[in-house]
């Protein structure tokens, strides 16, 4: 076998931020549009997906569960709101769908997805304290930003 040259491989985007809700469910939060795409397009179809609603730009968020509890949904929605441009707002609407509803339109720019079917909206208050509390402790060491 010839030696593997890692430099020739396509650059894998850095891993998303990781959080665990109080129900111990992993929630991944994208850091930029390329990562949002990667996160959304590689997640299991029955997992839940969130994004700040309205016209607010923000991270794509994947809940690693196909039947998250109401508490997990609320906590993940707070993370979604916090990691969006709505961070300074009092209330942020967050759209909740399943990953299987997401589509990447052909030729769409990075981070842009469309969805089909019903979406639920949860309105939450962005909360830095909760974001810090749920943060995967191991993840913090890898993430200097």
- Tens digits of per-residue pLDDT, 30-57? 999 999 999 999 999 999 999 999 889 9
* In the chain, where the domains are located: 13-137
List helix spans (H) across 47-103: 70-82
- pLDDT at position 11 is 61
Structure tokens at 101: 């509803």
- pLDDT at position 10 is 57
- pLDDT at position 54 is 86
From CA 9, how far away is CA 5, in angstroms rounded?
A: 8
Q: Cβ neighbours of residue 115 under 8 Å, at least 6 residues apart?
A: 97, 101, 102, 103
**For residues 59-73, average pLDDT:** 98
Percent of the chain past pLDDT 70, that is, above it, reads 87
**pLDDT surpasses 90 at 1:** no
Task: Supply the pTM of this predicted model.
Answer: 0.87
**pLDDT surpasses 60 at 5:** no
pLDDT band at 143; cut points 50, 70, 90: low
- pLDDT at position 145 is 46
Q: Which residues in 64-103 are b (16+ Cβ under 10 Å) and which e?
A: bbeebeeebbbbbbbbbbbbbebbeeeebbbbbbbbbebe
CA–CA–CA angle 45, 70, 54 (5° rounding): 70
């Amino acid at each position: 076998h010839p030696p593997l040259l890692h430099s020739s491989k396509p650059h894998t985007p850095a891993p998303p931020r990781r959080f665990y809700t109080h129900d111990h469910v992993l929630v991944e939060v994208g850091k930029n549009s390329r990562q949002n795409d990667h996160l959304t397009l590689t997640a299991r179809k029955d997992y839940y997906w969130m994004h700040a609603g309205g016209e607010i730009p923000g991270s794509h968020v994947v809940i690693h569960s196909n039947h998250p509890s109401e508490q997990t949904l609320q906590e993940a929605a707070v993370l979604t709101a916090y990691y969006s441009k709505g961070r300074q707002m009092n209330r942020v609407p967050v759209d909740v769908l399943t990953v299987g509803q997401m589509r990447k339109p052909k030729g769409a720019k990075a981070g842009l997805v469309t969805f089909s079917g019903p979406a639920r909206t949860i309105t939450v208050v962005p909360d830095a304290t909760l974001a810090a509390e749920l943060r995967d402790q191991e993840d913090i060491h890898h993430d200097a930003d």
